[in-house]
Structure 1
């Protein structure tokens, strides 16, 4: 498979990239982002795009892919809805619309979050925006599209969050996260499981489009 990853420098994206590079049936991985990953591997190529809403000069580099793992995202803390929508929905759709045209046989996976609001009418701003993004993605003419809705994610294998506050919390809660994953597999997953689950849906599909932590863990086995 040829795999495209958006957001490979973030916590989820790092875990997904690791699993792609380890998978024997993945021949090529292209990581798209504003910055290079810094990872050296014969399968991996970085494509640096400063303006992530304009892909007009990069279309040849975005063709010929079996799957896209879209792991870009920001926290909604302290953000107004219009700005959060611009970063979360508009940026995602700018990329996905181009990819659907260039790769009609592609499987597209998008990382949202547990509690995402598919009705787009709930009281939580972030959940409404994520729900609107999911719904828009599901209307695009991909071969298949899957919305990953993880809850708590335990980073493994040296994966780190780029957000200092999150990374500090992860270090403090590290012993608890491992126990929580074993006790509540319907609420907690790992970066490893997310990456393996994305590869599983790219290979075989999944019985539903909206995947919660229990689904992710089952697919990631």
Structure 2
């Protein structure tokens, strides 16, 4: 299996990249990034772009992949709806539309967020935009499109968020993860389980196309 990873320097992206490189049935991983992931591995290739809107200039390198794990995204804090929409909806759809045209047999897995608003009419700006993005992706002519909506993610294996405020938050919350996991075992996901679940979607698919935390947990545990 040949896979593309967007956002491999982020916390979720680092997790799925790690699992892809470890998976025996994954022969090639191409990460598309603004900056290098700073890893060397026989399976790993990098396509470094200062501006992802120039992705169409690299069509030849992007053809023939079996799956795309789209882990790009950011916080809406302090952003207008227009700016957040450009970052979240416009960029995602530009990339996905190109890939759907190049390789319609691909499985596209989009990392959304718990609380995304599929109705597109709710009061929360970020949730509306995420819901709009999900709905637009489902209309593209991929073989399969899945949206995963994690809530609480525990970073493992030395993985860290790029965002300082998130790193500080995880440092504070780290001692509480065992308690939260005990109280709600299917709501706390690890970066490892996230990567395993995304790979399992690419391998075997699922009977639903929007996966909440409990569904992601089940999918990750289904691996193998």
Residues 162-181 of structure 1: CA deviation (Å, up to 9, x unaligned): 00110011111112123323
Q: Which residue of 2 aligns with 1:152?
A: 152
Spell out the pairing of 1:1-221 with structure 2 (5 A cutoff).
1-221=1-221
* Cα-to-partner distance string for 1:51-105 (whole Å, 9 max, x where unaligned): 1123221111111100000000000011100000000000000100000011111
Deviations 1:144-197 (A, max 9, x none): 000000011111111100001100111111121233234313322111111000
SS at match of 1:55: helix
What is the SS of the residue equivalent to 2:30?
strand
Give the TM-score, by structure 2 length: 0.97
Q: Which moved more, 1:101-110 or 1:49-58?
A: 49-58
Alpha-carbon contact 1:71-1:110 (below 8 Å) kept: yes
Distance in 2, matches of 1:147 and 1:54, equals 25
Distance of 1:174 and 1:129 partners within structure 2: 30
Q: Distance in 1 between matches of 2:4 and 2:213?
A: 23
In structure 2, what is the Cα distance between the partners aligned to 1:84 and 1:130? 10
- Runs of 4+ aligned residues of structure 1 deviating over 2 Å after TM superposition are none
Alignment gaps of 5+ in structure 2: none
Q: What secondary structure, in the 3-state scheme, does the structure 1 residue paired with 2:55 have?
A: coil
How many residue pairs match? The answer is 221
